[in-house]
Amino acid sequence: MWQAEHVRDALARLYPATRVEILAMSTRGDEILDRSLAKIGGKGLFVKELENALADGRADIAVHSAKDVPMRLPDGFVLAAIMQREDPRDALVSADCERLAELPPGSVVGTSSLRREAQIRGRHPKLVVQPLRGNVETRLAKLDRGDFAAIVLAVAGLRRLGLGDRIRAALAPDESLPAVGQGALAIECRADRPDVAAALAPLDHAETAACVRAERAVSRALDGSCTVPLAAYAEIDGGELRLRGLVAMPDGSRFARGEVRGPASDPEGVGARLAERLREQGAEGILRALA
């Protein structure tokens, strides 16, 4: 809802004579909280109901966390704008420590993400990682009542909800490489609505869009999904795209890592090169093991 209100307010500033209404919806991803996303169909569960509302004309646009948008959109839909990125890093939230390395062996760490789980297990094999679902407030409540010694969430989500003071540390990408699109908002509309796409164009942030397109190209090339611990993170560095990525086994026993640089004008090409680099580092074997 914060995301929808954020986009509504941005549109209201651009077009003060236009009335922007929010159609509040609940998705299956919001409702099924007792199983991991990987086991119930993946992140697309947060998107499908919204696309149905676009298709039947109940809504003109849908606002998503970019990391929740499937790598291949259904025919007839486009991402018309990707807004300027918030901090893309993962956040450590704990009452007792500022670094995962400070936790005693056997401490329980909560996360909803196979990507985060694999990286935690790989770096901190003596910690116990357990699934954590629910909205941000629910997850924090589970930490506060002692179910977990620490939890890992997105910095962006905590800050957007005014909960930035709960962050004990933002994890550097070298420790926890972010998810594809993490920290960015993506606005979707129907492909046959050029009027809507034109109205959204001022909200598109060119640098963020290039980074997210490169990251999504990596995942698309490797058929990444919620069942695959995959990370990709792009930055603009001196006019170039610096793109890092990894594919891992969920237990943290095997990793394929890679980095490439290339022109920001060709994000999909840079993403394709990184996907090939990851294959050379063993990604195909990991993907076959997870199939």
Give, rounded to a whole angstrom, the gap between the first and last alpha carbons of the chain: 35
C-alpha distance from residue 237 to each of 155, 185, 207, 260 (Å): 22, 22, 11, 12
Q: Could you tell me the sign of the dihedral formed by the alpha carbons of 19, 66, 84, 150, in that order?
A: positive
pTM of the model: 0.91
Q: What is the pLDDT of residue 67?
A: 92
Share of the chain above pLDDT 90, in %: 85
Catalytic site includes residue 204: no
Band the pLDDT of 225: cuts 50, 70, 90: low
> Residue 83, SS3?
coil
**Could you give the CA distance from residue 215 to residue 232 in angstroms, rounded to a whole number?**
5
Instruction: Read off the pLDDT of residues 135-177 as tens digits, 9 standing for 90 and up.
Output: 899 999 999 999 999 999 999 999 999 999 999 999 999 999 9
Q: In what order do the strands lie in the sheet with 230-237?
A: 230-237, 240-248, 255-263
Task: List the catalytic residue out of 68, 90, 147, 165.
Answer: 68
Say whether pLDDT at 27 is over 70. Answer: no
Domains and CATH numbers, the chain: 1-86+183-204 (3.40.190.10), 90-171 (3.40.190.10), 205-291 (3.30.160.40)
Instruction: Read off the pLDDT of residues 171-180 as tens digits, 9 standing for 90 and up.
Output: 999 999 999 9
**Could you give the CA distance from residue 151 to residue 148 in angstroms, rounded to a whole number?**
7
Say whether pLDDT at 287 is over 80. Answer: yes
**Could you give the CA distance from residue 18 to residue 11 in angstroms, rounded to a whole number?**
8
Q: What is the pLDDT of residue 43?
A: 52
